[in-house]
Amino acid sequence: MANYSFNQNRSGVIFASLKDINASFKDLGAVCTAIRYKSIPNAMDTLDGVIERGKPILYRRNNKYMGSRHELGGKKGRYPMKCAGIVRKVLLNAMTNARNKGLEPSLMYVVHASANKTMIAQRGPSKGAMFVTGGPSGFVTGRRSDLEFARVEIGVSTAEEKTLHKNMLKRIKAEEAIAPKVELKPMDKKSKKKEEKKEDRKEAKAEKTGKPEKVETQKSQPQQQQAKQEAKPSQPEAQKAKTAQENKVN
């Protein structure tokens, strides 16, 4: 199993992750916080609301000089549409992993959701723009703009799982009491085609493995001679009569 930051018992949790993402890990962390401990239908509705309907996400940290939003009751927030799309992809991967294990995603909850910074690619200005003239003071060094990569992890599980911590179950019940009832949207055409192709492949494999193998038995010598005689074409009646007359003359 891949290395995840989930430090609890992993026996009943299904994971999915995406690494080396060119996005802000702070915005990804805020989106993960917004869907944590929610049911998968409610989490998908929250992410679709940010992407399609332009709903804001609450920022509890890293919100200096950020505007307040009336949709959040005057609290600070932002519209991280790009990061919401990335987290949505990871959540879809977790849902497919759950389906492959015979579980129903609409009855599961987002138990683990986190985003962390993985690596920093150092970047500076081009060679020609390394120094910028600054008047009588001579020159001023160019500014750096490093590129940061992030990693997103999501774990889903059922609320009936005994391996979950007590605090997790409390948070899941609290979120379920507040959140409205939302049904999971049907799959897109592309995902439907993929599922149909997978089912067709499974059926083809089952047909191949289900057919009994042909076993050839060795025949005895008289049986082989009889089979050869039956395989030869029958002689016409005229030819048979000629052979009979020749035998009489001899």
For 183-211, what is each residue's pLDDT tens digit? Answer: 777 766 666 666 677 777 777 877 777 65
* Cβ neighbours of 17 (radius 10 Å): 17
Fold for 14-124+143-180, please state it.
Ribosomal Protein L22; Chain A (3.90.470)
> Comparing 230 with 69, which gets the higher pLDDT?
69
Domain chopping of the chain, boundaries? 14-124+143-180
Distance CA 244, CA 95 (A): 84
User: Percent of the chain, pLDDT > 90?
Assistant: 46
Higher pLDDT, residue 8 or 93 = 93
Model confidence at 124, in pLDDT bands (50, 70, 90)?
confident
Label residue 136 by pLDDT band (50, 70, 90).
low
pLDDT band, very low/low/confident/very high, at 82 (cuts 50, 70, 90)? very high
- Tens of pLDDT, residue by residue over 89-123, are 999 999 999 999 999 999 999 999 999 999 999 88
Q: Which of 37-46, 105-114, 116-125, 241-250 has the lowest mean pLDDT?
A: 241-250
Q: What is the model's pLDDT at position 215?
A: 39
Assign 126 to helix, strand or coil: coil
Q: Which residue, among 85, 38, 12, 34, has the nearest Cα to 184 in the 3D structure? A: 38
Listed as own residue / partner, the contacts of 71-79 with beta carbons closer than 8 Å and 24 or more positions apart are 78/27, 78/30, 79/50, 79/54, 79/55
Is the predicted pLDDT of residue 152 greater than 50, yes or no? yes
At position 103, the amino acid (one-letter code) is L
Least-confidence region, from 11-15, 19-23, 56-60, 239-243: 239-243
* Residues constituting the chain: 250
- Count of CB atoms within 10 A of residue 202's CB? 10
248 φ, ψ to 5°?
-65, -40
Q: Is the predicted pLDDT of residue 217 greater than 50, yes or no? A: no
Band (42; pLDDT cuts 50, 70, 90): very high
